[in-house]
Amino acid sequence: MALRPDWKVTTHRVIFGHDTRAGQLFDIALIVAIVLSVLAVMLESVQSIRLQYGPLLVAVEWLLTGLFTVEYVLRLACVPKPWKYATSFFGFIDLASVLPTYVSLIFPSTHYLLVIRILRVLRVFRILKLAEYVSEADVIMAALQESRRKLAIFVVSVLLSTVIFGSVMYIIETGTPGFSSIPRSIYWTIVTITTVGYGDISPQTPIGQTVASVIMLLGYAIVAVPTGIVTAELTGARVRASLMRCEGCGLADHAADARFCKGCGRAMVR
Amino acid sequence: MALRPDWKVTTHRVIFGHDTRAGQLFDIALIVAIVLSVLAVMLESVQSIRLQYGPLLVAVEWLLTGLFTVEYVLRLACVPKPWKYATSFFGFIDLASVLPTYVSLIFPSTHYLLVIRILRVLRVFRILKLAEYVSEADVIMAALQESRRKLAIFVVSVLLSTVIFGSVMYIIETGTPGFSSIPRSIYWTIVTITTVGYGDISPQTPIGQTVASVIMLLGYAIVAVPTGIVTAELTGARVRASLMRCEGCGLADHAADARFCKGCGRAMVR
Amino acid sequence: MALRPDWKVTTHRVIFGHDTRAGQLFDIALIVAIVLSVLAVMLESVQSIRLQYGPLLVAVEWLLTGLFTVEYVLRLACVPKPWKYATSFFGFIDLASVLPTYVSLIFPSTHYLLVIRILRVLRVFRILKLAEYVSEADVIMAALQESRRKLAIFVVSVLLSTVIFGSVMYIIETGTPGFSSIPRSIYWTIVTITTVGYGDISPQTPIGQTVASVIMLLGYAIVAVPTGIVTAELTGARVRASLMRCEGCGLADHAADARFCKGCGRAMVR
Amino acid sequence: MALRPDWKVTTHRVIFGHDTRAGQLFDIALIVAIVLSVLAVMLESVQSIRLQYGPLLVAVEWLLTGLFTVEYVLRLACVPKPWKYATSFFGFIDLASVLPTYVSLIFPSTHYLLVIRILRVLRVFRILKLAEYVSEADVIMAALQESRRKLAIFVVSVLLSTVIFGSVMYIIETGTPGFSSIPRSIYWTIVTITTVGYGDISPQTPIGQTVASVIMLLGYAIVAVPTGIVTAELTGARVRASLMRCEGCGLADHAADARFCKGCGRAMVR
């Protein structure tokens, strides 16, 4: 097996590692650079600031994009399996964090898509070695994973309802400016059923207001369903964990995914 | 017992079955046709599109309605018990999916009711043999079923409250344009208590704003009740399932409706 | 012990009882009269209807108020303990259902308070002998009762927060029309934190919008607390019930308040 | 050990104690004074009231601030460890309750920050010896404490989402007045995802309304997550408590934090 050149190993340790002094400095510098560059993009979109500091902000953007590009190439170069990194979640984010600047030479407005690099901040969880946060996130993801079918059924039902309610409101509110087409009425139904309620479109006829009231009360009732689904999963895991008792030593209140008793090491009957 | 003619058996297998190649092609064509026709109705309601493609969209609607009519008649013809099909959920939807087009010859705007055929898409769950989805939907329906009395009490309480609060606000906000009658004030109360809050009507007097604040905080508190009701049902089923343990082999974590141990087949004590 | 005169016993059976044919007819007539009179009050508040049918609606109101007054006097006369009835929940509602009409001779607008007689409809639960509904309502009331202290702490915390946030927004948004005084800013804070969001008042300065964002995200997070409190109570009762197992026969899934096993009658260990 | 002078002991008993007659009178007077002073500040911010009663309200404010200042100095003087009190929660609040009046001599508008003294009202829970309320508050705080990591992950995810969705909407809705910069678009996204929905900014283009619909449905789905997290913690504690059974006497339904059986005093296996 051919050994990797020394510079690759060193670069890898600095860029990907969090143990050496150099690696930690790199991590901190990276987070600062990411936040700075996102702030630059956001401020550049404010007209009054752009008129005054525009050239400075553009310079910052190009400078940081240059550095991030070098970093991306280095990551690709020093990693043992470049393709695996390039197709991973962070590999994709890293690429998407530099591309918009170059594409903006052709399509100017795309450079605002740079804010996607804010997702690189998620690395901070890895950097701080917040293993506990990761395991907590896993619990949430597992609950969402477990209930994905229930949530899918729910979302499909809500979407079908909005199509039908939207059409009914379109027929009832003919002539009201906001309800000028079925797609707009469906938009209004979504705004209403999610209880957002902008008020840019609102029913004017007594019948329309009556049907709207029914939709609202319905939305009020069905908001309970996804909450119930997710909560049931989270609670199920939590309750089982706190009730499981080791058959050896009688100790209870184990972790949700414990396979062995935390007190005596005996395998748990699940 | 008289045998059904061959053509009925074959047609039944194609239209109702999902096992043969012809049956599967029919299913896919059906879903595509349903989505297309709903899209046609929705687009036709947008004025700018209607002016340009109106005749085309009307043609698509009549063509697909014709095909769906033929399909409905065939379903009636080839099914062993036509009446049972006609009065079933899907039988009703299938009929409601073609009627509006014909009725629109007399009452033009009713043809938008065609969007009800979007409900035919629900067949997709059957077509894809998503038995797991169906069983998940059953869990949700069972929880709603179990808690229907609690939810009914809750809805009645909310409705009575809106009548009383609406009248109180009508008396307080005399002169404010939006609160011109008790029905309108009740409409405002529903908009507020469900936290939709369009803002087309809002209290202007200090006393009115104070009472409105009380209504909002109340709405905030009572939104907890239906959520709690549904969640308690879902969690109850989930927890019982994950804690049930076979008395024979000690295995736990069975399905919510398991009657026999999934490990050793012994009948479960519930 | 002096016997009550016969007419009192008969009247009591008709008015308060639900077993005799006369009693049932009386109940149905009462519900119809209540709904009619509330509808009359509501319609009378709509200007266009009042102009056309005003005298008719006023006549209906006076007629029904007269009948309800006679009914109230009869109830007082035939009940064994008049004072106990007069101070009970329904005794109070029955009186409050007729008073506004008479008071409106002096203060005209109070007659809209007649809608309080809609609460008399709650009798319908008793009439239909919906004992199960009553026991379900008891479960909800018990959960709210159990969690009243937690909810009180929560409401006090929210109120204190609105006072402080309202004042902060008043200082930040000086000059914005909607935030003209601290009480109005507190009203805005309540509208925001409950996610109602009318939009009649909304922050205009960048700092105000930033603080508003924090308030919204906070409101989003704390809506979880009352839901959690009520749900935990409801779920606790539900789970305990479904897990309780008789020590005699091993049967599980008893009612939440069962004292004896529904299978063998043995006292339950709770 | 040097004894504290008598006047310190007496003053301490009156100001900090709730047992003597003098201490109770002091407590009641304090609560009344706090509420009065907050009301004075709030009313002073209403223009029409300020014009008429301005000097009176200012006098009340200065008088009460003077009294609170004396009280704060006395608390510092009579407490055994002044520094510990000064850095405690209530010590900080007590100081923050008088400072704004003095600072307002230089920066006038800061005197509205006096409303922070409303937090002193929290003492009422201590005064009324509502130990049960405190223990209930502890349960809520413990649940929030337990789930702080999950809630942190959730808030970070929501914030990152708002940055990205805000930028996407900024690109889509170029030209719509409300979406004039990325920060404003992020503000709109927060208003939408929390379902507040003022309507001061709302998407106008069909694509913008479609993306907005996705954001709303997403917000609808994710509101379930924090609710689920908090509820799972509260329910876990509640269920474990109601199911724990003493191994000695078999009694169940103990307090959530019971260490010994409430029936026989035996140590509980947790």
DSSP secondary structure string for all residues of C204-251: -SHHHHHHHHHHHHHHHHHTHHHHHHHHHHHHHHHHHHHH-B-TTT--
Helical segments of chain B, H only: 6-16, 21-44, 47-78, 82-86, 89-96, 99-103, 123-127, 131-146, 148-172, 182-193, 206-222, 224-243
A90/chain B closest Cα distance in angstroms: 33
Give residue-wise pLDDT tens across range C60-80.
888 988 888 888 888 888 888
CA dihedral D85, D88, D92, D97 (to 10 degrees): -70
Nearest to D156 by CA among A234, C221, A46: C221
Residue D194 main-chain phi, psi, to 5 deg:
-85, 5
Structure confidence at residue B245 as a pLDDT band (50, 70, 90): low
Nearest to A195 by CA among B221, D185, C227, B198: B198
Structure confidence at residue B270 as a pLDDT band (50, 70, 90): very low
Mean pLDDT of C212-219: 85
The encoded tokens of residue D241 equal 């408590």
* Cα separation, C145 vs C164, whole angstroms: 29
Mean pLDDT of B210-223: 81
- Higher-pLDDT residue of B104 and D129 is B104
Residue B88, pLDDT score = 83
* Cα separation, B95 vs C174, whole angstroms: 61
Residue D270, pLDDT score = 45
Q: Is D112 on the interface with A (CB under 8 A)?
A: no
For residue C195, the chain A residue with the least C-alpha distance is A196
Residue A270, pLDDT score = 44
Q: Is D20 on the interface with C (CB under 8 A)?
A: no
For residue A201, the chain B residue with the least C-alpha distance is B198
Residue D252 main-chain phi, psi, to 5 deg:
-120, -170
Best mutation site among C146, C148, C153, C204 for testing chain D: the one with the most D CBs within 10 Å?
C153
D235 vs B contacts (CB less than 8 Å)? 235
Q: What is the mean pLDDT of chain D?
A: 77
B to D CB pairs, distance under 8 Å: 11
Asked whether the beta carbons of residue B198 and residue D199 sit closer than 8 angstroms, the reply is: yes
Q: Which residues, numbered 194 to 233 in chain B, qualify as contacts with chain D under a Cβ-Cβ cut-off of 8 Å?
A: 195-199, 227, 231
Q: What is the pTM of this model?
A: 0.81
Burial class of residue A111, CB neighbours in 10 A (0-12, 13-18, 19+): buried
Mean pLDDT of C26-55: 85
pLDDT above 80 for C255: no
Give residue-wise pLDDT tens across range D126-157.
555 555 566 666 777 777 777 777 777 777 77
DSSP D257: T
The strand pairing partners of B245, in sequence order, are B252
**Alpha-carbon C79 to chain mean position:** 26
pLDDT above 50 for B25: yes
In Å, what is the CA distance from A6 to each residue of A39, A71, A86?
37, 18, 22
D236 vs A contacts (CB less than 8 Å)? 235, 238-239, 241-242
Handedness of CA C173, C178, C184, C187 (dihedral sign): negative
Contact between residue A245 and residue A267 where contact means Cβ atoms under 8 Å apart: no
D180 vs A contacts (CB less than 8 Å)? 46-47
pLDDT above 80 for D18: no
Residue B1, pLDDT score = 45
pLDDT above 80 for D67: yes
Residue B104 main-chain phi, psi, to 5 deg:
-65, -15
Taken as a whole, chain A contains a residue count of 270
B264 vs A contacts (CB less than 8 Å)? none
Best mutation site among D154, D220, D247 for testing chain A: the one with the most A CBs within 10 Å?
D220
Write the residue in C198, C199, C235 that is nearest to A235 by C-beta.
Answer: C235
C209 vs D contacts (CB less than 8 Å)? 184, 187
Contact between residue C192 and residue D196 where contact means Cβ atoms under 8 Å apart: yes
D224/chain B closest Cα distance in angstroms: 10
Handedness of CA C163, C164, C165, C171 (dihedral sign): positive
Mean pLDDT of B116-132: 63
C196 vs A contacts (CB less than 8 Å)? 197
Q: Who contacts C174 (Cβ-Cβ below 8 Å, separation ≥6)?
A: D109
Helical segments of D45-147, H only: 47-78, 82-86, 89-96, 99-103, 123-127, 131-146
Q: Is residue B34 helix, strand or coil?
A: helix
Q: Which of A236-240, B179-183, D25-29 has the lowest mean pLDDT?
A: A236-240
Nearest to A197 by CA among A212, A214, A175: A212
Q: What share of chain C is helix, strand, coil (3-state, %, to 5)?
A: 75, 0, 25
Helices and strands, number each (H, E), in chain A: 12, 0
DSSP C108: G
Nearest to B33 by CA among B3, B67, B5, B56: B67
Contact between residue B244 and residue C226 where contact means Cβ atoms under 8 Å apart: no
Q: Is A252 on the interface with B (CB under 8 A)?
A: no
Asked whether the beta carbons of residue B227 and residue C230 sit closer than 8 angstroms, the reply is: yes
Q: Is C152 on the interface with D (CB under 8 A)?
A: yes
C175/chain A closest Cα distance in angstroms: 21
Q: Which long-range contacts (CB under 8 A, 24 or more apart) does A200-207 make?
A: A200/D199, A200/D202, A201/A177, A202/A178, A202/B198, A202/B200, A203/A169, A203/A172, A203/A173, A203/A176, A203/A179, A204/A173, A204/A176, A205/A172, A205/A173, A205/A176, A206/B183, A207/A172
The strand pairing partners of A267, in sequence order, are A260
Give, in degrees to the nearest 5, the angle at Cα C216 between D216 and C162.
145
For residue A239, the chain C residue with the least C-alpha distance is C239
Q: Who contacts A80 (Cβ-Cβ below 8 Å, separation ≥6)?
A: A4
Q: Is A183 on the interface with D (CB under 8 A)?
A: yes
Give residue-wise pLDDT tens across range C84-121.
888 888 888 888 888 888 888 887 777 677 777 777 77
* Cα separation, A239 vs D239, whole angstroms: 7
Q: Who contacts D84 (Cβ-Cβ below 8 Å, separation ≥6)?
A: none
* Cα separation, D213 vs D219, whole angstroms: 10
pLDDT above 70 for B9: yes
Write the residue in D112, D199, D252 that is nearest to C182 by C-beta.
Answer: D112
* Cα separation, B216 vs B219, whole angstroms: 5
Residue D266, pLDDT score = 67
Burial class of residue C160, CB neighbours in 10 A (0-12, 13-18, 19+): middle
Residue A20 main-chain phi, psi, to 5 deg:
-80, 160
Q: Is residue D268 helix, strand or coil?
A: coil
Residues of chain A where predicted confidence (pLDDT) is lower than 50: 1, 256-257, 270
Contact between residue D198 and residue C197 where contact means Cβ atoms under 8 Å apart: yes
Asked whether the beta carbons of residue D46 and residue C181 sit closer than 8 angstroms, the reply is: yes
Nearest to C216 by CA among C165, C177, C141, C146: C165
**Range from A192-201, B218-227, D16-25, D216-225 that averages highest in pLDDT:** A192-201
Residue C199, pLDDT score = 82
Encode burial over D237-258: b for 16+ CB neighbours within 10 A, e otherwise. bbbbbbbbbbeeeebbebebee
C75/chain A closest Cα distance in angstroms: 37
C to D CB pairs, distance under 8 Å: 154
Nearest to C214 by CA among A36, D162, D45: D162
pLDDT above 50 for B117: yes
Give residue-wise pLDDT tens across range C180-191.
888 899 999 988
In Å, what is the CA distance from D167 to each residue of A113, A114, C251?
7, 9, 59
In Å, what is the CA distance from A115 to each residue of A62, A92, D177?
14, 14, 21
* Cα separation, C75 vs C82, whole angstroms: 8
Burial class of residue C2, CB neighbours in 10 A (0-12, 13-18, 19+): exposed
Residue B227 main-chain phi, psi, to 5 deg:
-60, -45
* Cα separation, B110 vs B118, whole angstroms: 16
Q: Who contacts A130 (Cβ-Cβ below 8 Å, separation ≥6)?
A: none
Complete DSSP assignment for A88-133: SHHHHHHHHTTHHHHHTTTSGGGGGGGGGGGGGGGHHHHHTT-HHH
